[in-house]
Amino acid sequence: MNATTYTARAHTNIALIKYWGKKNEELILPMNSSLSLTLDRFYTETSVTFDERLKEDLFLLDNSKKNSIKVSKFLDIVRQKAAISIKAKVVSQNHVPSTAGLASSASAYAALALAASKAAGLDLNKKELSRLARRGSGSACRSIYGGLVEWQEGNDDQTSFAYPIKIPTDFEVTMVALVISTDYKKISSRAGMKRVVETSPYYSAWIQNTAEDLNNIKQAILERDFETFGEISEENAMKMHALNMSAHPHFSYFEPDTIKAMQIVEKLRSQGISCYYTLDAGPNLKVICLKKDVQVITDFLSDSFGQEKVFVAGPGPAAHLI
């Protein structure tokens, strides 16, 4: 086999309807379907080379050598599909503004799925790529596509994958990201969601309610109803974070500044600006807004937190080879 290098770029995504809990840990099958927006501003570039001379997998992240069992386990899935046993060199670079704390496993595993499958001689279609990326990190299956993306939960490896949802042309959804902390997560999403599934008394309500949120947000997109779209996103995020506070032992990703930023968004909203917040498994807030309001929102957040903490992102493209 020729040691050809393939390089892929994949963008991060922010979930508007959250995935929070697995029904199968090994295959990463989620308890509920979810919906996200792929972002143009933040992405990962990854090169993969399968090389007969290598004795073990080699992984470099942002120019430093890492010992990642997760990456090797993911490569094992690719090797099994391609019926090869050759070790690989993986070189990955996160293109996230320095100190932004917005690097994500979604862009990482989407880029790795594309580059590694190609380098192993596989020619997977988008659905197969989405299923493969899912095995590295659930949310990665959505980063195979650009724009708004739904991940259908499915009930086995074949039926759990993502697909794009058309964004109406006059629906200019944008995101203002506020960096509150760059510290490593106190509790990983993997561990956090597991604890919630096992111990939150409200988990069954989440499953039922999130399915309704997903239907309603898709209807809002069709109707270009930005207010309902934002409201559902914000409420769904708060329900996910409420699950964390109801787990045993309870936990939270909020920092004092997270609450402060939420109050700023609520104040702007009371003044007539359509803006809504969401946050994933960390304290950094993402404000969902329309393009026309980006300036006023960034000004307000910059005044309180410093302009180096504020980043604007629009809908981003699908994962692709470069």
Q: In terms of CB distance, is 91 or 103 closer to ligand PMV?
A: 103
Taking the complex as a whole, the smallest distance from the CB of residue 22 to ligand PMV amounts, in Å, to 9
Taking the complex as a whole, the smallest distance from the CB of residue 169 to ligand PMV amounts, in Å, to 26
* Distances, alpha carbon 228 to alpha carbons 126, 232, 236, 288, in Å: 30, 6, 12, 12
Taking the complex as a whole, the smallest distance from the CB of residue 194 to ligand PMV amounts, in Å, to 10
Q: In terms of CB distance, is 126 or 239 closer to ligand PMV?
A: 239
Q: In terms of CB distance, is 162 or 318 closer to ligand PMV?
A: 162
Taking the complex as a whole, the smallest distance from the CB of residue 16 to ligand PMV amounts, in Å, to 9
Q: In terms of CB distance, is 58 or 141 closer to ligand PMV?
A: 141
What's the per-residue H, E or C state across the chain? Answer: CCCCEEEEEEEEEEEEECCCCEEECCCCEECCCEEEEEEEEEEEEEEEEECCCCCCCEEEECCEEECCHHHHHHHHHHHHHHCCCCCEEEEEEEECCCCCCCCCHHHHHHHHHHHHHHHCCCCCCHHHHHHHHHHHCHHHHCCCCCCEEEEECCCCCCCCEEEEECCCCCCCEEEEEECCCCCCCCCCHHHHHHHHHHHCCCHHHHHHHHHHHHHHHHHHHHCCCHHHHHHHHHHHHHHHHHHHHCCCCCCCCCCHHHHHHHHHHHHHHHCCCCEEEECCCCCCEEEEEEHHHHHHHHHHHHHHHCHHHEEEECECCCCEEC
Taking the complex as a whole, the smallest distance from the CB of residue 118 to ligand PMV amounts, in Å, to 22
d(C-alpha 222, C-alpha 218), whole Å? 6
Residues that bind ligand PMV (CB under 6 A): 15, 18-20, 34, 105, 137-139, 189-190, 280-281
Taking the complex as a whole, the smallest distance from the CB of residue 143 to ligand PMV amounts, in Å, to 10
Taking the complex as a whole, the smallest distance from the CB of residue 320 to ligand PMV amounts, in Å, to 21
Q: In terms of CB distance, is 5 or 72 closer to ligand PMV?
A: 72
Taking the complex as a whole, the smallest distance from the CB of residue 126 to ligand PMV amounts, in Å, to 18
Q: Which two tokens stand for residue 193?
A: 């969601």
Q: In terms of CB distance, is 86 or 102 closer to ligand PMV?
A: 102
Q: In terms of CB distance, is 102 or 275 closer to ligand PMV?
A: 102
Q: In terms of CB distance, is 234 or 280 closer to ligand PMV?
A: 280
